[in-house]
Structure 1
């Protein structure tokens, strides 16, 4: 079981189930919304429950996905594909210890020109 929240604590949640090894996403949307790259882990949406969600908002980021954030503090917390029953959760929003280790970089073809990826983790173009 994992717990997590936004920066101000107005959105708080529990994950009661498995989490995937996290990915660092370098796509333009994640960079714009997070300010750099976004690391997330994935679980089945039924594993996620909220202990507080009054400030949770969803932004329709594209025709295929939405992004969840706290309207009070602005924390970017979730990403969910329209047609899937899984949800990506910001690794940074999880309370420690998480027991997770970054597994890969995704959307590296879209990464910013202001940094290099220096680790030896797998890199996927998309």
Structure 2
């Protein structure tokens, strides 16, 4: 499955404290949520919302993110100052999967699919049925 958002509009984003900023120029692919246990642990959440950007179309415009090897051949990036999880990528790969929530306008990135359904948390089934506040 592949879905490209092919306009040339730069999409910007960054971490919670603003130290790490990025610009993704024109191509976003495979917007999805991943329910795998690695993504749950890395984000401290039920899933990770991700969208791919070719590395040659991604610029880090603020402080460079800190990076660690989360498993063999896989890296995750985060802000060293505030801890915001920013991305997942294969070591030496050609694209980076950015956390959709880190974009300044995440509403402009539609989801295509869910991945890692074997680890999808049952608590998500309650959404829409529990009390909701603003």
More helix by share: 2
Greater C-alpha radius of gyration? 2
Asked if 1 retains the 8 angstrom alpha-carbon contact of 2:100 and 2:106, the reply is no
Report the TM-score, using the length of structure 2 for normalisation.
Answer: 0.79
Instruction: Measure, in 2, the Cα distance between the counterparts of 1:117 and 1:89.
Output: 27
1:74 aligns with 2:73: no
Alignment map for 1:9-24 (pairs within 5 Å): 9-24=18-33
Aligned length: 117
- Which 5+ residue runs of structure 2 have no aligned equivalent? 1-9, 128-134
- Any idea what SS the aligned residue of 2:109 has? coil
- The answer (yes or no) to whether the contact 1:7–1:73 under 8 Å persists in 2 is yes
1:5–1:94 contact (8 Å) kept in structure 2: yes
Q: When the two structures are superposed, what TM-score results if normalisation uses the length of structure 1?
A: 0.84
Aligned match of 1:47:
57
1:55-66 residue pairs with structure 2 within 5 A?
Answer: 56-66=65-75
Matching residue of 1:2:
11
